[in-house]
Amino acid sequence: MSSPTQKFFAELEELSFVDEAYKQRFIEELHDHIEDSIHDADVRGIDDLNAEQTAIQRLGAPKKLQKNFNRMMKPQRLQTLLLCILQFVGTVSVTYASLIPFGGIADSVVNVARYLTGRPYVLDYPNLSSSITLFVIGLGVLGILQIIIFQTALFSLLSQDMKRSVFWFMYIFMAGAPGVLVIFSSLITPLLGIPFEFWTDQIRGLAPQYAITFICALMFLTICFTLAAIGVIARLNNSSFFLQLVGHLPDSINRPITQLFTRYRVFSHLNTVNIFGVLSILYLLFWLMVSLFPDLQAFLQSGNQYIMNETDPRIWWLIFVMPIMIISAIQTLTISSLFTTLSPIHGIWAAGFIYSGLFMLSIALIIISLRKQKIKTMQSFWVASVLALTCTMVLTNRFPNNSWDNPNNQTQWERPAKNLSVKIDKKVFGPFYMLYNSTSLFTPIPASQILVDTTGDFFVIQTALGSEFMLEFTDANRLKMVHRHTENTMRNVEKNLATAIPKELKDRIYCGEKTIDTTGDIFSDGTPAYFCTSLQIDNTLVASGGSIGLLDVAISPDNSTALIVTTENGKPQVYRVSLK
């Protein structure tokens, strides 16, 4: 049986301290302290066991020591804020950097499969120098900052009474989730890549479907994790966390809040499992309702259209992008703006594999916690997590009338206008404008690919964020975004993907004094292949002055219509050209 001293220190070791280095010193000095106490008691004629017990009693409970220590050693607010900022920067780098090897490995494996099936190669990861830079920056700060932030700032801000095991669970969730999970999930990428390539005909369209599923699920998970983390803390503190928190406010504010929490006991039931359970059900119900009631789906989509067409694109950006990937989207956008453009596949893969990673991690941790039978709360937490993930990954896709799964039940598209103009129409495309504005200090993020449908009236643009948008020319002067791209439209346009400029168009496009090289391919990863002082089609001047870069061109199969995307003095523009 262990002695009181051993028991005391075992308990103390389990607890988390705001400063790990000083924790070790603290423990060593307490050891010395007890030794000196016992020695003194010995001199006074007290027997060893009694002396030991008296010394331990004098020290007090380990939790009390821990609280004292943390109270005195916790960082200042400014220090905490700085740590949070550094943490964010660190996570950004790591998250993005972790995509590089993962993207590279995935592409390599996929290309092997493509080689065997005679398909063209793909290259989805950014250039090597930016990857290395990011990787170095990312890994350099990962080990240090993410741990510091949790050891000190967040920990001391939220709770001083946390078990080490729970502490690390929270660390994974709140600080390391994006980086850790992307790295983790990168291990399975090749395994998923091969079947995707070999059975591409059978699963055509499933990738974008899952991408959208993943992205929506990320939104759900972000909300879940944020609330669940609060729930964990509340639970750890026997639901008194909020009361403790409001205890620091002035009495005038404190009193009504305290009364609220005391009166409405529902707040005291706030815990991880409840939050996850309720949100899972709500999430499931939402997709069920949308699937069962096409009118509701149409209503939501029309709302979406309205937002996209009628409001300031920046508002749309805030509404759409921000909630979806509170962590990953901001990080990806920031880092890609700083260093390079991203191809859409990164967004899809990042979302998808973070999600897959979470799923597997949840299962693994359930097994671990079942074996240990230590933390019942966390076990329930992971069970709830798996339930939620299963719902989003499997069940929602199996619902009837799910627009992602059943293209025959899509909302009816607005039909294209018949009075197509023969004029050249110059438009500013919302999302481009939006991206340009949001990243004006850095590099604008243009479309990486444009697809055109059989009528020539619908265009699908994939942006560097990984999102796809469908555009429609309703009349000569109106370029309208009719829908975010879905699987159905992907199927329609995929066959008509233009990969080269036909001679008919090449002969009619003039770039300043020069005609475009007839052997050239202006498709590139968001980087203009040609810069002109003016752009002319037939005898009509489309744009002139400054630096006009040709980004992309898509042609309808009957060669009647073309969509040209340029960058003019850094600002993307879209032109629709009638070729007849």
Partner 1 sequence: MQFSKGLLVGAAELIVLHVLKTKKESYGYELIRAISQESEGIFDFEEGTLYPLLYRLEQKGLIESETKKAPSGKKRRYYKLTTTGTASLKERKKEMTFFFKGLEHVLQSQSA
- CA nearest 171: which of 242, 244, 225? 225
Q: Which is nearer to partner 1, 69 or 125 (CB)?
A: 69
Report the distance separating Cα 554 and Cα 377, nearest Å.
Answer: 55
Q: Which is nearer to partner 1, 19 or 487 (CB)?
A: 19
Candidates 6, 7, 13, 25: give the one binding partner 1 (CB under 8 A).
25
Candidates 32, 48, 538, 558: give the one binding partner 1 (CB under 8 A).
32
Name the segment binding partner 1 (CB under 8 A); options: 34-42, 220-228, 351-359, 437-445. 34-42
Q: Which is nearer to partner 1, 26 or 168 (CB)?
A: 26
Q: Which is nearer to partner 1, 21 or 441 (CB)?
A: 21
Q: Which is nearer to partner 1, 72 or 78 (CB)?
A: 72
Name the segment binding partner 1 (CB under 8 A); options: 18-26, 220-228, 312-320, 363-371. 18-26
At closest approach, how far in Å is the CB of 159 from partner 1? Answer: 18
At closest approach, how far in Å is the CB of 14 from partner 1? Answer: 16
Structure tokens at 363: 């299962």
- CA nearest 354: which of 149, 94, 144? 94
At closest approach, how far in Å is the CB of 169 from partner 1? Answer: 27
Q: Which is nearer to partner 1, 37 or 274 (CB)?
A: 37
Candidates 37, 390, 409, 578: give the one binding partner 1 (CB under 8 A).
37
Q: Which is nearer to partner 1, 39 or 495 (CB)?
A: 39
Q: Name residues whose C-beta falls within 8 Å of residue 342's C-beta, 6 or more positions apart in sequence.
A: 126, 332, 336, 445, 464, 465, 466
At closest approach, how far in Å is the CB of 74 from partner 1? Answer: 10
CA distances from 363 to 190, 223, 357, 359 (A): 21, 20, 10, 6
Structure tokens at 290: 């949308």
Q: Beta-carbon neighbour count of residue 205 at 10 Å?
A: 18
Structure tokens at 42: 């010995």
Instruction: Classify residue 423 by its DSSP letter.
Output: S
Candidates 5, 8, 9, 30: give the one binding partner 1 (CB under 8 A).
30
Q: Beta-carbon neighbour count of residue 191 at 10 Å?
A: 11
At closest approach, how far in Å is the CB of 39 from partner 1? Answer: 7
- Should residue 413 be labelled a site residue for partner 1 when binding is judged by CB under 8 A? no
Report the distance separating Cα 511 and Cα 518, nearest Å.
Answer: 12
Footprint of partner 1 on residues 104-133 (CB under 8 A)? none
At closest approach, how far in Å is the CB of 2 from partner 1? Answer: 21
Q: Beta-carbon neighbour count of residue 76 at 10 Å?
A: 8
Q: Where are the beta strands (DSSP E) in 387-538?
A: 425-427, 447-452, 458-463, 468-475, 478-484, 509-511, 514-515, 530-537
Report the distance separating Cα 465 and Cα 276, nearest Å.
Answer: 29
Question: How long is the chain?
Answer: 580
Residue type, 27: I
At closest approach, how far in Å is the CB of 12 from partner 1? Answer: 11
Candidates 13, 14, 29, 504: give the one binding partner 1 (CB under 8 A).
29
At closest approach, how far in Å is the CB of 73 from partner 1? Answer: 5
At closest approach, how far in Å is the CB of 29 from partner 1? Answer: 5
| Stretch 42-81: interaction string toward partner 1, x if CB under 8 A | ----------------xxx---xx--xx--xx--------
Name the segment binding partner 1 (CB under 8 A); options: 2-10, 30-38, 183-191, 222-230. 30-38
DSSP string, 478-490: EEEEEEE--HHHH
Structure tokens at 543: 């744009």
Q: Which is nearer to partner 1, 65 or 325 (CB)?
A: 65
Give the 3-state secondary structure of 316-365.
Answer: HHHHHHHHHCCCHHHHHHHHHHHHCCCCHHHHHHHHHHHHHHHHHHHHHH
Report the distance separating Cα 168 and Cα 373, nearest Å.
Answer: 17
Footprint of partner 1 on residues 357-386 (CB under 8 A)? none
The radius of gyration of the chain's CA atoms, rounded to the nearest angstrom, is 29
At closest approach, how far in Å is the CB of 82 from partner 1? Answer: 16
Give 272: exposed, middle or buried? Use CB within 10 Å, 0-12, 13-18, 19+.
buried
| Count of chain residues binding partner 1 (CB under 8 A) | 22
Candidates 10, 20, 39, 311: give the one binding partner 1 (CB under 8 A).
39
Q: Are 124 and 101 in contact (CB under 8 A)?
A: no
At closest approach, how far in Å is the CB of 382 from partner 1? Answer: 35
State the residue for tokens 């609330």.
227
Structure tokens at 304: 């979406």
Name the segment binding partner 1 (CB under 8 A); options: 28-36, 141-149, 241-249, 272-280. 28-36
Q: Which is nearer to partner 1, 161 or 525 (CB)?
A: 161
Q: Which is nearer to partner 1, 80 or 274 (CB)?
A: 80
Q: Which is nearer to partner 1, 153 or 234 (CB)?
A: 153
Footprint of partner 1 on residues 429-488 (CB under 8 A)? none
Residue type, 389: L
Report the distance separating Cα 206 and Cα 396, nearest Å.
Answer: 14
Q: Where are the beta strands (DSSP E) in 337-485?
A: 425-427, 447-452, 458-463, 468-475, 478-484
Q: Are 148 and 20 in contact (CB under 8 A)?
A: no
Candidates 22, 121, 299, 442: give the one binding partner 1 (CB under 8 A).
22
Instruction: Classify residue 399 by its DSSP letter.
Output: S
Strands 514-515 and 509-511: antiparallel
Q: Which is nearer to partner 1, 69 or 432 (CB)?
A: 69
Footprint of partner 1 on residues 308-367 (CB under 8 A)? none
Binding footprint of partner 1 on the chain (CB under 8 A): 19, 22, 25-26, 28-30, 32-33, 35-37, 39, 58-60, 64-65, 68-69, 72-73
